[in-house]
Amino acid sequence: MSAGLIDGAALAREVYAALGDRLRALAGQGVTPGLVVVQIGEDPASNVYVRNKMRACEAAGLRSAVRQLPADCDEAEVLALVAGLNAEPATHGILVQLPLPAGLDAERITQAIDPAKDVDGFNWMNLGALVAGRARFEPCTPRGVMALLGRAGVPVEGSRAVILGRSNIVGKPLALMLVNRSATVTVCHTRTRDLERHTREADILVAAAGRAGLVTAAMVKRGATVIDVGINRDASGKLVGDVDFASVREVAGRITPVPGGVGPMTVAMLIENTVLAAERTAGVSGS
Ligand code: GUN
């Protein structure tokens, strides 16, 4: 039997709909949440992602702007731009689009963002709060995965969750979020021995390794929920995830497609984080 599809685009629309009341409350205080994306250079994938984020802001009724810097700019210029945005009251959220051109230190730059405006949740202050179970801003992609699971009615408490990939952006924060929700979590990576032994135990299997075709049907327990965070291009240039969708779909209970799964939810979480940032600044209670 074919797995049920988790429709990320439809679930993201639910997130936007739920923001309506919060945006109206902010508007009542004269506040429109504002997001500034800093884009350095012209990475083609980043161009697409940044455009999607801008469109989502516009559709949701947020103020947004892109601040472009050339690929050969120096770090002091970037840090000065970030410092200026930190001090700008109408800018509630700041995001520096990654990857950065060679020669720029992504860590130093993301750590320069005011933690209260760090809607990506990459600042160590926010990552530390997540470790302590007192999250302020959670990184958008893992937060999107949690929102997908919640909205699709997938039980998390007591489940066995296996994550493929240990990045600071997805794998590690997602492991914390799942543990905070009482799942039993295994994080697998390139040095994991006998990967299949781990993945076959998973009630929830999250692929975030960035390798097309990594997850095959033989690696998936019948009825498992499979969440595909991967965004890769196959040989013909088609967008594919980390999961061999056609075969895994025959084994899994539920599965996210690529595109149309995690991607739209990631953007929705960025919008939600920006609204949250504005609410905190305005002293309006959100959720
Ligand atoms: N590039 C790819 N994913 C992300 C993300 O979540 N945030 C930022 N800032 N850049 C990215």
HSE-CB of 95 using CA atoms within 13 angstroms: 29
Residues with CB under 6 A from ligand 1: 95-98, 120, 140-141, 169
Tell me whether domains 30-114 and 140-262 share a fold: yes
* Rounded Cα–Cα distance for residues 123 and 179 (Å): 20
Distance of CA 136 to the CA centre of its chain: 15
This prediction's pTM: 0.97
Mean pLDDT of 4-9: 98
pLDDT of residue 126: 98
Q: Is the pLDDT of residue 20 over 90?
A: yes
Determine the distance separating the centroid of ligand 1 and the alpha carbon of 286, expressed in angstroms. 25
pLDDT of residue 65: 98
Q: What percent of the chain has pLDDT over 90?
A: 98
CATH architecture assigned to 140-262: 3-Layer(aba) Sandwich (3.40)
| Distances from the Cα of 94 to the Cα of 33, 82, 183, angstroms | 11, 8, 31
* Rounded Cα–Cα distance for residues 204 and 99 (Å): 28
* Rounded Cα–Cα distance for residues 8 and 145 (Å): 10
Q: Within 61-182, where are the H helices?
A: 75-86, 106-111, 124-131, 140-151, 171-180
CATH architecture assigned to 30-114: 3-Layer(aba) Sandwich (3.40)
Determine the distance separating the centroid of ligand 1 and the alpha carbon of 231, expressed in angstroms. 12
| Catalytic residue status for 221 | no
Q: Given 39, 117, 118, 120, which residue is catalytic?
A: 120
pLDDT digits (tens, 9 = 90+) for 118-144: 999 999 999 999 999 999 999 999 999
- Give the domain ranges of the chain: 30-114, 140-262
pLDDT digits (tens, 9 = 90+) for 213-257: 999 999 999 999 999 999 999 999 999 999 999 999 999 999 999
pLDDT of residue 287: 56
* Amino acid identity at 55: R
* Rounded Cα–Cα distance for residues 123 and 132 (Å): 14
pLDDT digits (tens, 9 = 90+) for 152-185: 999 999 999 999 999 999 999 999 999 999 999 9
pLDDT digits (tens, 9 = 90+) for 67-111: 999 999 999 999 999 999 999 999 999 999 999 999 999 999 999
Determine the distance separating the centroid of ligand 1 and the alpha carbon of 34, expressed in angstroms. 18
Determine the distance separating the centroid of ligand 1 and the alpha carbon of 251, expressed in angstroms. 31
Q: Given 39, 53, 221, 244, which residue is catalytic?
A: 53
Q: Within the chain, where are the H helices?
A: 8-28, 44-60, 75-86, 106-111, 124-131, 140-151, 171-180, 195-199, 245-248, 262-282
pLDDT of residue 285: 78
* Rounded Cα–Cα distance for residues 258 and 148 (Å): 14
Pocket test for ligand 1, best of 109, 113, 120 (most atoms within 8 A of CB): 120
